[in-house]
A and B are shown apart, each in its own frame.
Chain A
């Protein structure tokens, strides 16, 4: 720690107010990772066949789209926006892949175009939010319907199934010698890119600032509109890619593919410690959140529990995670108020009212809009 000496006084600035272990361990991310480990251990011990390599393969294959989409979704929620249309973009991209393949285009080209369609859809969201100035909740409820509607409108109730074998095989293949699917390579690369982007670049810093105080970010020279627009395009593109993968994995393109996936993505992101109010969160927590939901679902399915019950559990987990965040904040506030009351009584009785630096209670997070 360097000490900067002024002519009059030597002021030493510690980097952190709390010791490292408190900073690193007492976080929501750590709690989720711990919970994930607990679930894995319990499942390994009590569910038959959970420890088979096939389980890992199916688990990762199935949650890959959610893992992928959770990456840009985290960034979007950190800037206090939301994108409910991701699943519809997946469906739209899937339909485009099918239609373009059926029309005779070589598959890589069809897939690339489908990703572009996803990016364009994201740009449409971004335009309405940043240029027209509409709330992202309302916009993405509308585009959730619009994009899904286009997907269903294009294909109706039919499904396209003829995809080149080498590609569908690739989607289902594992990394040689392991039960880990190939798609995880793509995911790991993207996860690293997003993690670096969010935690170690000026752009990432600006996202947190935008989420915590949009006005101050603007006054500091941050282009809030451009940042958010970029995130929506990223979300659309990644959803587009997830749509291509989804199509190959199940070898079919349907208008209603991935219906409802937005819940799982958002549930996982919030479970992973990202605050719905913006400005807080980290990617390692989110990844643990996705894996938690996936592992839980996989274990329960193996134990014979039907998917509707699994949906109930996902919903309960989502509700619990946000309620617990509020509960913790409330408890913290009660405790400091109680300390304050004790202090007050002591000082009124003439006891030693310690002389501390005159910090003032701040009122942040005032009037947060409910969304």
Chain B
């Protein structure tokens, strides 16, 4: 169904037509269009850099569009602040909820709009009653009096939704809401979304996960390179078709895994335990192997990786690298001994965004590069060139700030920085998250080559196809424990999902 601007009938809840937005020389949105109807859950998909996030921020009033139409219930609107869009009935629930940790759940819901009596005095009882009523309607149990500090992301999202309901939002936008949720929490969120839809609200669901899109949504809009591509009812399309629209070309071989010679054991993790996070984790890694570590978000995989590498600590157990025990809690020692960790959050943990590309790449080897204890720009640039060209990083210059690079190139910089340390064990945590399909294939090819060179790779990923395509062996974690170890031949989607979701006793 092609986008038709002149459909007669009742006005759509929200409509965007050919919206444009630039930041300096960067065109983030070339032509954004979207039609949201009441009582519908509409999916918005596209690669990173497709412009989805910019579109959402324009709807939310964070940015002002440079050109194009924005219509709410048929009326043209122009939001100059988030307060305006909220007042107009639009609510956005971001991936990372922003709440006030020191204040109570109820105050978080009503901050800035607390009910008051004649004299302007806040009516706390009315506030609390309404909060309890909203939670009841949503079917969730949350203590309205507790402070929001320490609440899980899932609960925080519920509070955000409660906020939206108290505002009587007619349009709810959910930006990658399931990224940090476990299976049960995703189901709860979907139930809430459906009940909101049934109340006649319009929902926009942005996600990278096709299974969720197909499970929850009734319509899907695809964007690519800052422009609108197409809108289709979910029932009339397939994943392949959607990917083709997103990428603009047929997707052939996405995971070119070459066989590699598997050598002897290089890493042994024995009985690693940290109360409340992970328990009794034991596994081995061999040279040339790619071991996938699968599981749902929150299973504790990143925590294990960080503990092995030394960024976090652990309480009992040990890590043996190349025959010798590795000191815990010491990333510098780990790096010197040959372990590298490409972290989950490349912007916050992997890169110094305000620093140049060369500085970022050489951060891990700065001591190695130093001569007589001194280091200077030319030394850094020479080393950076080697890795930037090997990984084909696209950047204007070596001192360009890492934050100006695209997601894929940023990930290459992080990889370069760690490969520069010449590791024998490489741990990558969500190596292709938020990266365009082209760079994704490059990263997979790179990992495959590294394995062929004899490096042992532990790959944490939430994308089942990626894990199954790349790994020689698949480890599965659930709620802090290792529930399965599957050789490639036995690693089917069903087996992995079963191990990731079934209670530990049943999997034994």
The residues of A with any CB-CB pair to B shorter than 8 Å are 2, 4, 6, 9, 11, 13-17, 196, 200-202, 205-206, 208-209, 212-213, 215-223, 279, 335-337, 339-341, 343-345, 347-348, 353, 356-365
Q: Which residues of B contact A356 (CB under 8 A)?
A: 25-27
Asked if A196 and B374 make an inter-chain contact with CB atoms under 8 angstroms apart, the answer reads: yes
Q: Which residues of B contact A4 (CB under 8 A)?
A: 385-386, 389
A-B CB contacts (within 8 Å), total count: 180
Q: Which of B341, B359, B403, B407 contacts A205 (CB 8 A)?
A: B359
Q: Which residues of A contact B384 (CB under 8 A)?
A: 13
Which B residues from 342 to 379 make CB contacts under 8 A with A? 343, 348-355, 358-359, 363-364, 366-367, 369-370, 373-377
Q: Which of B24, B311, B354, B406 contacts A364 (CB 8 A)?
A: B354
B395 at the interface (CB under 8 A from A): yes
Given contacts A11-B389, A202-B366, A221-B335, is CB(A364)–CB(B353) below 8 Å? yes
B400 at the interface (CB under 8 A from A): yes
Asked if A359 and B26 make an inter-chain contact with CB atoms under 8 angstroms apart, the answer reads: yes
Q: Which residues of A contact B21 (CB under 8 A)?
A: 340, 344
The contact sample of 22 A-B pairs, CB cut-off 8 A, is A11-B388, A13-B389, A13-B398, A15-B397, A15-B399, A17-B399, A196-B374, A201-B373, A201-B375, A208-B355, A213-B352, A213-B354, A219-B350, A221-B334, A336-B24, A340-B26, A344-B22, A348-B20, A359-B405, A360-B49, A361-B26, A362-B401
Asked if B348 and A215 make an inter-chain contact with CB atoms under 8 angstroms apart, the answer reads: yes
Closest CB in chain B relative to A272 CB, distance in Å: 19
User: In the complex, A265→B142 CA distance in Å?
Assistant: 51
B251 at the interface (CB under 8 A from A): no
User: In the complex, A202→B370 CA distance in Å?
Assistant: 7
Given contacts A13-B385, A360-B406, A364-B403, is CB(A206)–CB(B366) below 8 Å? yes
Asked if A339 and B22 make an inter-chain contact with CB atoms under 8 angstroms apart, the answer reads: yes
Q: Which of B22, B335, B373, B397 contacts A340 (CB 8 A)?
A: B22
Given contacts A200-B376, A344-B20, A358-B406, is CB(A209)–CB(B398) below 8 Å? no
Q: Which residues of B contact A353 (CB under 8 A)?
A: 27, 30
Asked if B28 and A361 make an inter-chain contact with CB atoms under 8 angstroms apart, the answer reads: yes
Q: Which residues of B contact A345 (CB under 8 A)?
A: 20, 66-67
The residues of B with any CB-CB pair to A shorter than 8 Å are 18, 20-28, 30, 49, 65-68, 225, 311, 331-332, 334-335, 341, 343, 348-355, 358-359, 363-364, 366-367, 369-370, 373-377, 381-382, 384-386, 388-390, 392, 394-401, 403-407, 417
Q: Which residues of B contact A336 (CB under 8 A)?
A: 23-25
Closest CB in chain A relative to B302 CB, distance in Å: 12
Please list the 7 inter-chain residue pairs (A to B) with the smallest Cβ-Cβ separation, ordered nearest first: A344-B66, A362-B403, A336-B24, A340-B22, A348-B67, A17-B397, A202-B366
Asked if B22 and A341 make an inter-chain contact with CB atoms under 8 angstroms apart, the answer reads: yes
Asked if B25 and A343 make an inter-chain contact with CB atoms under 8 angstroms apart, the answer reads: yes
In the complex, given contacts A279-B354, A344-B66, A361-B28, what are 15 additional A-B residue pairs having Cβ atoms less than 8 angstroms apart?
A13-B385, A13-B389, A15-B377, A15-B397, A202-B370, A213-B353, A222-B363, A340-B21, A340-B23, A340-B24, A341-B66, A343-B25, A344-B67, A347-B20, A362-B401
Asked if A348 and B66 make an inter-chain contact with CB atoms under 8 angstroms apart, the answer reads: yes
Q: Which of B364, B390, B397 contacts A6 (CB 8 A)?
A: B390
Q: Which of B67, B370, B404 contacts A201 (CB 8 A)?
A: B370
Q: Which residue of A lies closest to B377 (CB)?
A: A15
Given contacts A13-B388, A13-B397, A216-B350, is CB(A348)–CB(B370) below 8 Å? no
User: In the complex, A339→B22 CA distance in Å?
Assistant: 8
User: In the complex, A200→B364 CA distance in Å?
Assistant: 16
User: In the complex, A279→B352 CA distance in Å?
Assistant: 10
Q: Which residues of A contact B389 (CB under 8 A)?
A: 4, 6, 11, 13
Q: Which residues of A contact B343 (CB under 8 A)?
A: 219
Asked if B20 and A205 make an inter-chain contact with CB atoms under 8 angstroms apart, the answer reads: no
User: In the complex, A356→B364 CA distance in Å?
Assistant: 31
